[in-house]
Chains A and B, each alone.
Chain A
Amino acid sequence: MIFIILQIIFLISLAPLVSGIITKIKNNLRLRRGQSVWQPYYNLAKLFSKDEVCSEHSSWVFKITPFIVFASSLLALFLVPAFIAKSPAQYLGDLLLLVFIFSLGRFFLALAGLDTGSSFGGMGSSREMFISSFAEPAIVMAFFAVSFNFGTTNLAATCGPGALKFSSLIAGIALLIVTLAETSRIPIDNQETHLELTMIHEAMALEYSGPSLALIELASYLKQIVFFTLISATVYPVVFCAQITPIQALTGIIIYLAKISFIAVLIAFTEVFLAKMRLFRAVDFLYFSFVLALLALIAATLGA
């Protein structure tokens, strides 16, 4: 139990750092000094201490959304195994639930974008829904491929010890591409700008300020780390089972950190070396990940 609590706290506190690291690497690759890796924490602290402004045209949906989004991300965090092959709340649900939880958050965020009645919010919502309608099948398919190898959709089992397979590797790469879309990164979206023509995620959250914005940002950090954890667990499974010694736990943490930072570096490089795609090209990109996931499924059915 104590492990579970510790793991959750650890992941929550780690989540903004991952974003900070990615931003730092990107800036360094572009030969800039860049902001400190701790900047996300400062931002959160600042936002939480600020006042909040709400549009007078908005309804209760607008006010409730940050909490739902944050709660969904937090719940997702409970489902994924990070250091040990046991998810904190594995009797709660499985891979499919994870997809639904994220959909719930996305649904409310899109509603909130529409709710304020600003044109940007509506645009962002419609784009987000468009993109997610291509991203979600890919996620589900990749999950199927992974779970096919183990005969269960239970996350703890699928991320647990077991031979690394060809199919899980391909599924991991498909997930990596989807992650770019889900965490609004460059070929699909761009976190760094508020350019009205291109933004998707930022457009939906444009009307938020103060603690609500902080919650939404934190939720997206959490979502990011959940995806990273999932990829790392499918491609390079967690090796330690439930009953472990502190030494093993420490090793688990170190391995986990190595995996996460590897993915972070990979993502940073992709963001720097790829250009942002037009919305309709982004569909091709996501379609590609769907095909890869399907490929993984084929490989899995044939036992490779």
Chain B
Amino acid sequence: MHTYVFLSGILIMTYFMVIAKRLPPLISSFRLQSLFLFLFTVSLAISGGEPSLYVVAGLILILKVILIPTLLLRIIKKIKVNENLGFFMNPQLSLFTALLLTYLSYLFTFRVMNLIDRMQAASFALALCVTLLGLFIMVFRIKALSQIVGLLVMENGLFLTAVTMCRGLPFIVEFSTFLDIFISVIILGVFVYRINTLFTHIDVNKLDNLKG
């Protein structure tokens, strides 16, 4: 029961990110998505998983629910950038594409992976769909910050895959992955900051000097 609630929470939040028009809602949706992911992981840990899952859940809570969104919101405040995301594809069409991607990931799960357990199949499809939608946000949104968020959404999808399919990766890998994500967000943040000072905008569609 509660697993379903958390999973659909993750899905809805991903869809919210697809229609979000401004950066702050995008980031708060990401925060909520990570919160649902945290709850999901905790529920898995309680239902007889490995004790390392608790640590991993704690890492999600600290990094993805608290630190990273706060960091991103601070960057937005600091660089005083126009908060609109900018669309390469309008929200309606984006939603429709998102739907299509979701359907594809379901098909992929049922046709290719041949998972027997329905619950596992559903969560794998969901994880794949979250990963794809993260990629979608990266590709079809103009602001550089939304690419960071898209990357993080993809990571969330991956983590969901790891947790539902194999009850988490080996602990050391999981731990270093989280550290890695945090470092990469900081580095990307630095680059956004620099791009903003040098270009006076963070629109990736205007980063087109290098061609051919």
Contacts and interface: CB of A to CB of B under 8 A. Distances in A.
Do any beta carbons of A and B sit within 8 angstroms of each other in the complex?
Answer: yes
B125 A304 contact: yes
B118 interface: yes
B103 interface: yes
Interface stretch (A23-31, A71-79, A146-154, A165-173): A165-173
A295 B102 contact: yes
Contacts of A240: none
B15 interface: yes
Interface of B: 1, 4-5, 7-8, 11-12, 15, 19, 91-92, 95-96, 98-99, 102-103, 106, 110, 118, 121-122, 125
Contacts, number: 51
A164 B2 CA distance: 10
A291 B91 contact: no
A291 B12 CA distance: 11
Nearest to A296: B8
Interface residues of A, number: 18
A173 B12 contact: yes
Contacts of A288: 15, 19, 95
Contacts of A170: 8, 11-12
B4 A166 contact: yes
A292 B14 CA distance: 11
A165 B4 contact: yes
B172 to A, nearest CB: 33
Contacts of B12: 170, 173, 292
Contact of A304 (B96, B98, B122): B122
Contacts of B8: 166, 169-170, 173
B113 to A, nearest CB: 13
A131 B80 CA distance: 35
Nearest to B91: A284
Interface of A: 164-166, 169-170, 173, 284, 287-288, 291-292, 294-295, 298-299, 302-304
The 9 closest A-B pairs by CB, nearest first: A304-B122, A169-B8, A291-B95, A302-B106, A298-B103, A291-B99, A170-B8, A169-B4, A288-B19
Given A170-B12, A304-B121, A298 B4 contact: no
A196 B203 CA distance: 39
A303 B118 contact: yes
Contact of A164 (B1, B91, B92, B95): B1
A295 B99 CA distance: 7
B15 A291 contact: yes
A6 to B, nearest CB: 29
Contacts of A292: 12, 15
A299 B118 contact: no
Contacts of B110: 302
